[in-house]
Each structure stands twice: as C-alpha cells, then as structure tokens.
Amino acid sequence: MDAIKPAKGYTLQYLQVLRGIASLLVVLMHAGFTFKFVSGNTFLGDVFAFGGAGVDIFFVLSGFIITYSCFHLTSDARNLPGYLRRRFVRIYPPYWVLFFVFLALHWVFWSHYGNHDIFRLDKMLGSLLLLPGHEMVNGVSWTLTCELFFYVLFAGFFLVKRKIVFAAVLALYGLLLVLIGETDRGPWMTILLFPMNIEFLLGIAVAFLWKKLNVRLAKILLVAGIAGFIAGGWLAVRDIMIFHGSLNRVVIFGLPSSLIIISLIRLETEGGLVRPSRLLLALGDASYSLYLIHLPLLAAGMRILVSAGITDATLLHVLTILLIIAICVAGLLFYRWIERPLIGWLNKKRQPGLTVAKEP
C-alpha cells in the first residue's frame, strides 16, 4: 500500500510507519505462540504476548483512512459503486492469491492436516468471500471480514444526504455496542454487534477532529496515548481484564491508538516530526502483505526447526528471530511483485468516467 496523500499535498508517513509496527506486533505475537507450542518455552519472555493489539491499531487506522480519503465522494451517491469496488479490490485479490496457494498446499500435504472441511463447497465459498463465521484457511482472515463490514458501514454516508444525521446514527451505534457487549447470536449478529467495531468509529472521529488540535495538545495526547498503549500491553500480558470480552481491547488499546494516531497526524502536518526511515516506510507499505503471509510461514518455519531436532533454547531464539526477518522480507517481496501490481492493474480496469477516491 502506498503512502496516504491528503488533499493539501501532505504525505502522512507516520501512519505508514504505524501500519508496519502494527503488522510486526501481530507477527511477534504469533511467533511467541508458535514458539511456545513447538518448544514449550516462552519467546523473548512473552513480552510481545500483547501483539494482537496491532489489530486494534489497524481498525482505528481503517476508520481514519477511509473517511479521510473517501468522505469528499459521499456528496454524490453515484460514487458508491466506485468506492465499494476500489475497497473490495484492496482486500480480496491478494487474499485470494494466498487462499488458493494454501488450498494447494493442503491438498499436497493432505496427511499433515487434521481438518479437511475447507474442501466442502459451502466452507470454501464462505472462506473465499470472507463471510462471517467462515472456515479460516488463514488465521488472520476474521479481521478481513471485519474490514469488509467497515466498508459497508461507511457506505451509509453515500446514502444519507445529511451527513450529520448518519454520524449521529454511528454514534448511537457505538453506544449500543458498549451497552450490549459481547454476544454470540450467530456469525452475522456477532459481527454486527462486535465491540471492536467501536475502533473503526473512533477512526472516523479522528478524521473529523484532527485539525482542531493545536500542536501543544497533540504532544500531550501523543505521550498519553503511548503511555496508555504500554499500560494496556502490561495488563494484557498479565491477563488483567478491566472490562468484559473485546470491549476490554477497545479501552486498553483502541482508545490509546486513537490518541496516538490523531497526534501523529497533527504533528506531522505541522512539520513537527523527523522523517522516518525508508525501511519503516517500506514495511508500512507492505503491511497487508506481511499480515497475510506471516502466520503460515511461521508455522512452516517452526515445523522445520523442530524437525531438525534443534532443542537449545538460545539457538532456537536466534533462528526464530532470523525466521521473522525472512518473513518480513517475504512480505516486502509479495507486496512489490504481487499485491501492488495486481491492485494497480485491477484499478486501471475500472469503468471509464467512474469517480473514485484517491486512496492509500
């Protein structure tokens, strides 16, 4: 994914960096789980056991980016098909490439898999379309279902003429999610009432509020957000719950993420931040590719290490770190050779004359 380019010509590079950090947190968390599963030991003292918080960062970022890059199109409902097409192209094609690769590997190494339900037509279609409650071939695909729901939810801005009315509806929806909490009433109702949807709403709020911050307040909120996120990680690693279910994640990670994001945007647009390194920016560009490929590669890599009979804890740590670096490189290559050209080609084939957003 390329850098976000707001209308005034700014390039919000620190949001790209934040994407890369979010992906890396998820990778490190899954590396810890896999390491413990195959060796019985903790990876780096389980310090990254809270890495799932990278998903919370992604959800807030999603709300901001979609609003910031597409809200100006909502004045004309005729832009809705172009918006949906472009958003779906962003999610589905890279996922489908890996989906069929994983299916092929499942077929070739049939005896290594205990569950073959994915080859049932209904399961396969559910996974292919990322429907709620689908059979996950890739363990992170549940979050893509959430993203698709966010895209559809935002589409309401195209359909409601008075934007303030729909914004009020979204605010009431967020309040409803807080009051109802976690629910298990079937996959469709579960995603509709999923508390982590609040994080997407927080991102929308950030898009409307960031210009109202002054630099001094932005610095204070940045420190508060980072401190809150670290405190949330400390609580998560120790399994200390403040609220029930996913609402706990919204409070300890979603709210701090919102403060970090709104502060970084304000400070960067005011020229108050140094330019980030090219490596961090590249990792941010490739964040979706890295997110998609890391879990299967981690599982395969750790299985190879175990098969090699490596039992020394120090050596296993070193090799796992090297494996993580290799997966990051693979993510960069998948983005450069598959994701970016594929999405670029598909977007060029959109219907002529159809207005679309300038997106990240």
User: Can you tell me which residue has the tokens 């890495």?
Assistant: 51
Query: Residue 7 has what pLDDT?
Result: 47
CA-to-CA distance for 174 and 200, rounded, in angstroms? 10
CA-to-CA distance for 202 and 125, rounded, in angstroms? 32
Residue 21: partners with Cβ closer than 8 Å, 6 or more residues away: 54, 57, 280
| pLDDT greater than 80 at residue 29 | yes
| pLDDT greater than 80 at residue 354 | no
Instruction: Give the Cβ contact number of residue 118 at 10 Å.
Output: 18
Query: Residue 273 has what pLDDT?
Result: 85
Coil, strand, or helix at residue 312?
Answer: coil
Q: What is the mean pLDDT of residues 218-237?
A: 97
Query: Residue 5 has what pLDDT?
Result: 42
Quickly state the pLDDT bin for 357 (edges 50, 70, 90): very low
CA-to-CA distance for 190 and 222, rounded, in angstroms? 33
| pLDDT greater than 50 at residue 360 | no
Which of these, 155, 199, 150, lies nearest to 174 by C-alpha position?
199
Q: For 171-202, how does the pLDDT look when each residue is reduced to its tens digit (9 = 90+)?
A: 999 999 999 888 788 899 999 999 999 999 99
Which of these, 208, 132, 126, lies nearest to 163 by C-alpha position?
208
Strands of 269-321, DSSP E: none
Q: What is the mean pLDDT of residues 109-119?
A: 75
| pLDDT greater than 60 at residue 25 | yes
The single-letter DSSP state of residue 337 is I
Instruction: Give the Cβ contact number of residue 299 at 10 Å.
Output: 16
CA-to-CA distance for 160 and 165, rounded, in angstroms? 8
User: Can you tell me which residue has the tokens 């995603």?
Assistant: 191
Contacts of residues 154-161 at CB distance under 8 Å and 24 or more positions apart, as own/partner, are 154/66, 154/67, 154/70, 154/204, 155/80, 155/83, 155/84, 157/71, 157/74, 158/73, 158/74, 158/76, 158/77, 158/79, 158/80, 158/83, 159/77, 159/80
CA-to-CA distance for 225 and 206, rounded, in angstroms? 13
Query: Residue 355 has what pLDDT?
Result: 35
Query: Residue 350 has what pLDDT?
Result: 57
pTM of the shown model: 0.93
Yes or no: say if 44 and 32 are a contact pair by the CB < 8 Å rule.
yes
What's the Rg (C-alpha) of the chain? 21
Query: Residue 349 has what pLDDT?
Result: 66
